[in-house]
Structure 1
């Protein structure tokens, strides 16, 4: 039996946690435990939340006060990070051990309190060890407040169509996608360290690693084969095609991957992408979407014909071709699903099946409404990232910062430390440019995720970065930058380098507004890279540092 399954997809009709409503307060309880589970037909040890996998979905409304009480029934420390949530004025609830809290000890509880100041699709997951790989992640949906400006009239010109889109968004179903192995995350990390290189053989060649291949058990990444699990099915009620414009369905795709990147499509159903990472964009009609670790894409599809249609997820950066399937089952009045096979837009490797297939480009998306930026930043930080030696170590700037290095000390929100290779300071109400230079080759793409506030993508490209600022670079290569209406997301992905021995360096430039003081993590969202040290800390707004409430101070100090 192979120790890695096909990539699989988890789909839930909104089976939300029970919550208590009282003056816009949403209260949730998450009880963590370990148990045996077989999401793809092969039983293994996993982390369960409230006795189930996948964990329950959290449904919230913008402006709600949110209370999430976590009971850690695991044998090891844990934490919960609410991915993409800005935690405005409550940075102590961000869930990043070593920055906002100490890990929750085994047998203890921790209460996260925050206000929902955003809307859109998000997710929550552990920020401790390898627990994401063991299943500690779930969907989080925040419904927009009344009167929110939306781009739906750019999809449908009729009032009935816009109303149908509004209804579809309210009923949108989250689609969690994950790469799932048949061994625990701890086992994978131990194999990785022992072999000094992961995955074996292929990675040793492509990433210039010096790992010892025989140290890796043969069944970890060899001999993979399809499992016999049943496909997940998402059922929707469509409308017969009678010339109307009311047959819309919305889905929130969530890239809960820990290791791979993917290409996603729904057979015979073009998708209107209307939001990325929780924020509305000028809608784009596409057939497939590349989705990296941590990203979220919200889409509308027309449900005007009955049938079963494959939702395809193809891994695009793995040593073996891995793909996963779910089924979109559409029933329309008087018609039931035919069960016939459907025509794909992508193949098992994520490649378009024809020249007519349109692939979404997140680097060209336009925020809706526009989100202007100043022409020049107040400060620039340039970081050199890549892999290190031994090959399981990774760096976001000069040298690795291992998670245990952070977790063993007093949280930075309580006790800020001086700037270093790993710690950067900013002042409030300033604009900061971050330039990431991939300086070791070969190197894979890195989905760089920022906690606290979203970033604007200014540009990316191949070649050496020789400038002191984006302003200087934009004068020399203006075609490589967008300083007018750049994409806005909480993560952006660097370019892969070392392709065909031609491109050995690459750069990525982003800008963000310091308007949410706190200690925030900036890291690669590939789990092995994060655990290998690919992270730094941004102490934002040190001149307006928030005062931690006593309840959290005791927990952060380990005394309460």
Structure 2
């Protein structure tokens, strides 16, 4: 499997010409808040490098208020969110609230070279936006260079007073999955820009796991048995697990031994309840599942299994990432039973639409415009792998972002390597067909919008007869299969500059 070293962007300029942890208290508040009055939620976040050892291996990480992962930001639908970012990393940064539409505030999307300039070191920048029409499971992360690989991530949860499943679960638990590198991203970047390949050293659940220190380089500081994340279950209670994949590269299969899951949400879209045992989740994707604590009182394994076929060497050195589900009344230190689900799932693709259905059927409007983009990778003379969309490799201008060009009146004068596509017709509905000519899968994320996933498949021939235009799922991050295709439909109704890009080390 080929491993790609560089991320790539498709930037779209869109105009309209017509104008973490269990939170039972939120459950109680939501039940009482059907007539909820929006509030202003203010979060003060300091980004700073700290020496930590989440899996026993000591390295420098970017922490947020001293934490890794960063604190979970919680608000309700309709709230105004104010995030004061204090940058003490030692280098410039920018923060993206992943999945937030930023309606009316595209300059707070947090993408360097597109919506803003970099935040200098020792500087405070404020993001200020509202979420009038969104609720669900989101996250925030650095959108500068490879910083989020170094730890600049955290959960962002928008609670919904009108949640149709509100009475179907008792408590919520946030589960943050990640692959994990022992090498700082600055050094990793140099490897990515060389002909070398790189794979994660480990994986984490809620920032914890153990590493076999025998594999650590000589001279490094490493402690065995660093400990696993632990989740407390009370017998017969129902839990909504909000699962977020914050990885740099890795897709996982998520599961809990002997416990079925029912998917109820994907990236802000409620889904019909559907029982599964193992959940495929790619980079930047999020799901909510309901799990009932209906098994005998004991300790169980929560698993995040690397989808190894998606990694360059088959992930030979990587083991299953584990956490502990501890039932109230079970022995504290007894080893959990080992009974993994045996279901076969195809790797490197998403849940198919037969499994993932919207709760409320919404037939998407007919497309008025089609855009076909071919993904290809080429080595330059130095052996650097670069990505191309229709023959153009994206190059941002960090000193003159695309949105600034628009405000400066230069909306019709973009260099080809900005990969700009302008949508300025009222009522436009766009189908984007990606043809992936390369041997790796790519989780693509659209900023400022959601899209309907009409269908995907293998090969370069798009089977349009198979497209689901009746009840497709709507989300913001979807996987383009290796050597395959995908068709996404969206409505460009949010004026601004928004990218669509592969989310591997973006």
Report what 1:458 is aligned to.
Answer: 454
Contact conserved, 2:278 with 2:343, CA < 8 A, in 1? no
Report the 3-state secondary structure (helix = DSSP H, G, I; strand = E; otherwise coil) of the residue aligned with 1:57.
strand
Report what 1:394 is aligned to.
Answer: 387
Report what 2:422 is aligned to.
Answer: 425
Distance 1:199 1:340 in 2: 33
User: Relative to structure 1, is the Cα distance of residues 82 and 508 closer, same or farther in structure 2, using a 3 angstrom cutoff?
Assistant: same
Report what 2:180 is aligned to.
Answer: 180
Distance 2:344 2:128 in 1: 49
Distance 1:177 1:186 in 2: 22
Q: 2:113 aligns with which of 89, 93, 98?
A: 98
- 1:84-483 superposed matches below 5 A: 84-117=99-132, 118-145=134-161, 147-148=162-163, 150=164, 152=165, 163=167, 165-166=168-169, 168=170, 171-193=171-193, 195-199=194-198, 228-239=225-236, 247-304=237-294, 305-316=296-307, 317-318=310-311, 319=313, 320-321=315-316, 322=318, 323-331=320-328, 339-346=334-341, 352=342, 361-364=351-354, 365-374=356-365, 376-389=366-379, 390-402=383-395, 405-415=396-406, 416-418=411-413, 420=416, 422-427=419-424, 428-440=426-438, 443-465=439-461, 474=464, 478=465, 480-483=466-469
**1:336 shift after superposition:** 5.8
Distance 1:234 1:511 in 2: 38
Report what 2:11 is aligned to.
Answer: none
Distance 1:411 1:14 in 2: 40
- TM score, norm. by length of structure 2: 0.80
Contact conserved, 1:15 with 1:57, CA < 8 A, in 2? no
Relative to its length, the structure with more strand (as a share) is 2
Report the 3-state secondary structure (helix = DSSP H, G, I; strand = E; otherwise coil) of the residue aligned with 2:191.
helix
1:185-217 CA-partner distances (Å, limit 9, x unpaired): 111111222x323239xxxxxxxxxxxxxxxxx
Contact conserved, 2:22 with 2:172, CA < 8 A, in 1? no
Report the 3-state secondary structure (helix = DSSP H, G, I; strand = E; otherwise coil) of the residue aligned with 1:430.
coil
User: Relative to structure 1, is the Cα distance of residues 227 and 517 closer, same or farther in structure 2, using a 3 angstrom cutoff?
Assistant: farther
Report the 3-state secondary structure (helix = DSSP H, G, I; strand = E; otherwise coil) of the residue aligned with 2:115.
coil
CA RMSD of aligned residues (A): 2.7
Report the 3-state secondary structure (helix = DSSP H, G, I; strand = E; otherwise coil) of the residue aligned with 1:133.
helix
Distance 2:333 2:59 in 1: 35
Relative to its length, the structure with more helix (as a share) is 1
User: Relative to structure 1, is the Cα distance of residues 299 and 198 closer, same or farther in structure 2, using a 3 angstrom cutoff?
Assistant: same
Distance 2:413 2:472 in 1: 32
Distance 1:190 1:108 in 2: 27
Distance 2:343 2:278 in 1: 11
Report what 1:550 is aligned to.
Answer: none
Report what 1:42 is aligned to.
Answer: 57
**1:35 shift after superposition:** 1.2
Distance 2:191 2:246 in 1: 22
Distance 1:362 1:417 in 2: 39
In structure 1, runs of 5+ residues without a counterpart are 1-10, 153-161, 201-217, 240-246, 347-351, 467-472, 498-505, 531-560
Distance 1:293 1:28 in 2: 26
**1:174 shift after superposition:** 1.0
- 1:76-87 superposed matches below 5 A: 76-87=91-102
Q: 1:31 aligns with which of 46, 49, 74?
A: 46
**1:354 shift after superposition:** 7.3
Contact conserved, 2:436 with 2:460, CA < 8 A, in 1? no
Range 96-105 or range 120-129, more displaced: 96-105
Contact conserved, 1:330 with 1:337, CA < 8 A, in 2? no
Are positions 1:494 and 2:490 aligned together? no
Report the 3-state secondary structure (helix = DSSP H, G, I; strand = E; otherwise coil) of the residue aligned with 1:48.
strand
**1:360 shift after superposition:** 8.1
